[in-house]
């Protein structure tokens, strides 16, 4: 008897199997099993079981091609798929439904591969850091240069445009990209950290976006000459982070807070003394790292529940802090073994990892409900950002060094600048 496999089971199996066997090898095994089962069932003249078997194989292939179309991008995998579908069709030649399902599956797969190929070509064009996030400034630009407040002075609108960018970038991440983190952990030295792992471009680009947003926030604050305007800039970003939190965009919120906590910004005590920090304190409370970010996880759970009960796209938005999400997968992988004492695969471990990845993928597929503002997005993605050195120079020029350590750092920076000149 062939039981109806659940979609969640198939997804978990196909996702976790790549830790143990390459997808093209698994596909070849499926093809071999398909051939053997067909021969056995034909020998017994059990047409009912043969048809049932064919239906289950079609379901497996349909789920596989929809969830992981990139597994079929090379000619060898596509040839194996065609061979399997041909055998399946022969098992139930009288059933037009099977033929129709296979034809629709093949057409959808080709469309998915074509779309991903076009996206990959676009990524290659945008791969250079200069294109991805503007030039890195080595010196402070003229004070008259346009800043973020000259482009958008509404915190809610800026938070919405940040959400647009987040959803566009995160939508290019696929389940196999995330599982690749786990598979590379197994193939590397146990003491290597995530930064040493081979990452797909989608993951790398999303990591870079977080860092660039943090540096942009710090740049926008440090480049302002007048203390009154710096205070306004800090308060503006605090409001933007709060709006991100309300939307469910935790990744941008964390990036903004990280930018304001960078040393060149955090050391501006005279500026911070003028800032109404009550709202900032609330944000930092949400992102308090104690107890494994307990407060953030509570907020994320609330956003998740809201998303599940949502009647509109606005309520469906959940963008977790990506680095924390990856760490959760990392620890799930590390604290549980791949195999049970009896040698069987620890399927519960991979079920838990798969469940988290599946939930993440559900969030990435939400369509952004906010109207896109090209002018604001262009600024966010291409505005020049300071190097770490330039940030410190701008910070010390705004508020001079206050202790021996800062005085030594400022002296070293000035010496470096003089030597370059």
Note the residue count of the chain.
421
Contact (CB, 8 A) for 34 and 57: yes
136 by DSSP, 3-state: which? strand
* 14-23, 132-141, 254-263, 364-373, range with the lowest pLDDT: 132-141
Per-residue pLDDT, 140: 52
- Mean per-residue pLDDT, 410-418: 84
Per-residue pLDDT, 304: 95
The rounded percent of the chain whose pLDDT value lies above 70 is 85
Per-residue pLDDT, 130: 36
Whether pLDDT at 193 is above 60: no
Whether pLDDT at 134 is above 50: no
Q: Quick: pLDDT tens for 242-261.
A: 999 999 999 999 999 999 99
Tracing tokens 């193939």 back to the chain, one arrives at: 187
418 confidence band (pLDDT: 50, 70, 90) = confident
Tracing tokens 């997804």 back to the chain, one arrives at: 11
Q: Among 149, 141, 340, which Cα is nearest to 223's?
A: 141
DSSP 259-323: HHHSHHHHT-HHHHTTS-THHHHHHHHHT--HHHHHHHHHHHHHHHHHHHT-SSHHHH--B--HH
Q: Is 247 exposed, middle or buried (0-12, 13-18, 19+ CB in 10 A)?
A: buried
Whether pLDDT at 394 is above 60: yes
Q: Quick: pLDDT tens for 76-130.
A: 999 999 999 988 887 666 667 788 889 999 999 999 888 877 766 655 554 443 3
Higher confidence at residue 360 or residue 132? Answer: 360
90-94, 134-138, 271-275, range with greatest mean pLDDT: 271-275
Per-residue pLDDT, 181: 75
- Mean per-residue pLDDT, 275-288: 93
Tokens of 130: 């200069």
Whether pLDDT at 348 is above 70: yes
Per-residue pLDDT, 53: 82
Contact (CB, 8 A) for 267 and 399: yes
E strand or H helix at 350: helix 347-364
> pTM for the full model?
0.85
Per-residue pLDDT, 183: 66
Per-residue pLDDT, 133: 40
Q: What backbone torsions phi and psi does residue 273 show, to the nearest 5 degrees? A: -65, -20
Query: How far from chain centre, in Å, is Cα 23?
Result: 22
- Mean per-residue pLDDT, 139-168: 86
Contact (CB, 8 A) for 379 and 147: no
- For residue 363, give Cα distances in angstroms to 200, 205, 255, 303, 396: 20, 18, 19, 11, 42
What is the C-alpha separation between 167 and 172, in angstroms, rounded? 9
149 confidence band (pLDDT: 50, 70, 90) = very high
What is the C-alpha separation between 202 and 172, in angstroms, rounded? 6
Q: Among 20, 39, 130, which Cα is nearest to 87's?
A: 39
Higher confidence at residue 188 or residue 386? Answer: 386
């Amino acid at each position: 008897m062939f039981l109806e496999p659940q979609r969640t089971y198939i997804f978990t199996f196909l996702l976790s199997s790549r830790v143990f066997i390459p997808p093209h090898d698994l596909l070849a095994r499926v093809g071999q099993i398909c051939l053997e089962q067909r021969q056995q069932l034909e020998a017994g003249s059990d047409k009912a079981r043969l048809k049932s078997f064919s239906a289950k194989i079609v379901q497996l292939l349909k789920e596989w091609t929809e969830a992981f179309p990139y597994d079929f991008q090379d000619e060898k995998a596509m040839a194996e798929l065609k061979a399997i579908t041909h055998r399946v069709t022969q098992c139930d030649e009288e059933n037009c439904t099977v033929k129709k399902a296979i034809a629709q599956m093949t057409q959808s797969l080709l469309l998915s591969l074509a779309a991903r190929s076009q996206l990959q070509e676009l990524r290659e064009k945008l791969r250079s850091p200069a294109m991805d996030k503007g030039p890195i400034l080595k010196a402070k630009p003229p004070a008259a240069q346009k800043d973020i407040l000259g482009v958008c002075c509404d915190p809610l609108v800026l938070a919405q445009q940040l959400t647009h960018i987040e959803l566009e970038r995160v939508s290019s991440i696929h389940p196999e990209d995330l599982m690749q983190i786990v598979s590379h952990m197994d193939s590397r030295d146990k003491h290597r950290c995530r930064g040493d792992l081979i990452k797909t471009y989608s993951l790398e680009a999303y990591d870079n976006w977080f860092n660039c947003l943090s540096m942009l926030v710090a740049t926008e604050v440090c480049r302002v000459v007048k203390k009154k305007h710096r205070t306004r800039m800090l308060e503006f970003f605090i409001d933007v982070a709060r709006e991100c939190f309300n939307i469910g965009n935790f990744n941008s919120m964390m990036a903004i807070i990280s930018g304001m906590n960078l040393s060149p910004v955090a050391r501006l005590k005279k500026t911070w003394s003028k800032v109404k920090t009550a709202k900032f304190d609330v944000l930092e409370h949400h992102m308090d790292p104690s107890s494994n970010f307990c407060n953030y996880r509570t907020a994320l759970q609330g956003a998740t529940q809201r998303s599940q009960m949502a009647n509109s796209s606005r309520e469906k938005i959940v963008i977790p802090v990506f680095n924390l999400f990856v760490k959760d997968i990392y620890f799930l992988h590390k604290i549980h073994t791949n195999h049970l004492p009896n040698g069987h695969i620890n399927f519960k471990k991979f079920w838990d990892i798969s469940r988290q990845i599946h939930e993440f993928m559900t969030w990435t597929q939400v369509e952004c409900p906010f109207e896109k503002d090209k002018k604001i997005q262009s600024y966010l993605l291409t505005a020049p950002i300071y190097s770490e050195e330039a940030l410190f120079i701008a910070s010390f020029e705004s508020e001079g060094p206050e202790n021996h350590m800062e005085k030594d750092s400022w002296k070293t920076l000035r010496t470096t600048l003089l030597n370059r000149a």
